[in-house]
Every structure is written in structure tokens, then in C-alpha cells.
Homo-oligomer: A and B are copies of this chain.
Amino acid sequence: MAVTKNVKGTVETRIKNPKLVRKKHLLIAAKATKLFIKKGFSGTSMRDISRVTKITLGNLYSYIEKKEDVLCLVFDLYHKSWFKLLEKNGVYKIDDPRAQIHMAVHTLLLNCEAYQDEIKLMYLESRFLPKKSLKIAMENERQLILEFEKMIRRGMERGIFRVEDPFYAANMIVFQISVNPLRGWNLRDKYSYDKLVNLTESYILKALVQ
């Protein structure tokens, strides 16, 4: 298993106190997220960020080097290691492939709920990340897909799943998990989130079993 790299540590700073840096970086990322969601990365100015963080424009540049860095900080903040989340919830201990995938999807969906806007943001604004950070962010997702592919293959060997192409199916599953952040506008007012989770789970599983 490849080590999950973190985007963190890419943003250089002029401030010496590391605790202070962490605190302000967190503040900047959290506040900037809301701005980026509303106005996009290019549409948000450093002065906007200065205003909402209450950090003076000049002082902001003590904690970052370029505007781009703010976007990196945002991605750091929400860059959960999905793989680790699955491990923590005991997904890999489940023997029955059906129950295992169900649990994996369930775990990720619940985790998505609190971060809908942020996930959408990462879909919309990832293209403005510096190449290096973008690669790291995509690697995380690729790894998640790989995990699903493994689970699907296990289910196929046991004759529980029947899928034309496990890699493609794994891609679809990860894609479908992001349906709520990306397409919620049409679904949210019709279903409760619990209902949505249920529907997504069974819809995904239905496409796997034979």
C-alpha cells in the first residue's frame, strides 16, 4: 500500500511561530472556502480574504507567498484521506463483499454530508491548483477507486457480484458518491439526506449483484 501523501507543508511562510502559523492557516482556509464557493477562486480577491479573516492585507502575505497558496490551504483542510476513513470504520474487516461495499459507501456518504459545499469546491476549482498539488489530490481519489476495485473483484471471485469491468464500476461508484454535492439542487428538496443515502446505497449495489 502506497503511503498517502499530504498536500500540507507546501505553503511557505515568513512567520516563525509554528503554532501561530497553523492557527492562521486554518482560519484563512476556513474563511476562504466560503468565498471560493460563492465567487470562485479567480473571482475572490486577496482583499476579500483579508476582510473576512480580519488579517491585514500586508500581514496575509506573512503567511503565504501567493494567492494560489490560499487555494492549497483550502485543499489541505478538506483533503481527507478517504482510504484511512474506511480503515478506521472497520470496512476492511468485513468478510461479506456485499456488506463490505455497502459499509464503504455508507461511510463515505455520511462523511460527505457535512462537506457538500467543500467537495463541490474541490471539483470546481481543482483546475487552479498548481500542478504538483493537483497531482497529490488526484492520487488520493485514484487510491480510493483502487480500493473499490479490489472489493468488487473479491465479490466476483465469490460469485456474489457480476460486473463487466471492475475498474470502470469502481470509478462509477466513487462518482456516484459525489452525486449529492454536485447535483443536490434537484434532489435535496425532495428527499431527506438519510433517504438519499439509502437510495444511493441500494442503487450502487444493484448494479453490482448478478
- Chain A residues in the interface with B (C-beta under 8 A): 39-43, 123-124, 127-128, 138, 141-142, 145, 164-165, 167-169, 171-172, 175-176, 179, 182-183, 185-187, 190-191, 199, 202-203, 206-207
A199 contacts B42, C-beta separation under 8 Å = no
- Chain B, Cβ-Cβ closest to A43: B42
Q: A40-B40, A124-B124, A207-B203 are in contact. Are A167 and B179 (CB under 8 A)?
A: no
Residues in B with CB closer than 8 Å to A43 are 42, 128
Closest CB in chain B relative to A155 CB, distance in Å: 14
A172 contacts B179, C-beta separation under 8 Å = yes
**Copies in the assembly, this chain:** 2
Q: List 24 A-B contacts (CB under 8 A).
A: A40-B40, A40-B41, A40-B127, A42-B42, A43-B128, A123-B182, A138-B185, A142-B186, A164-B199, A164-B202, A164-B203, A168-B187, A168-B199, A171-B179, A172-B176, A172-B179, A175-B175, A175-B176, A175-B182, A175-B183, A176-B176, A182-B182, A206-B206, A207-B207
Q: A172-B203, A179-B172, A203-B172 are in contact. Are A186 and B42 (CB under 8 A)?
A: no
Closest CB in chain B relative to A98 CB, distance in Å: 15
- Chain B, Cβ-Cβ closest to A191: B168
Given contacts A164-B202, A172-B179, 15 further A-B contacts (CB under 8 A): A39-B42, A40-B127, A40-B128, A41-B42, A42-B42, A42-B43, A138-B185, A171-B179, A171-B187, A175-B175, A175-B176, A175-B183, A176-B176, A206-B206, A206-B207
Closest CB in chain B relative to A25 CB, distance in Å: 24
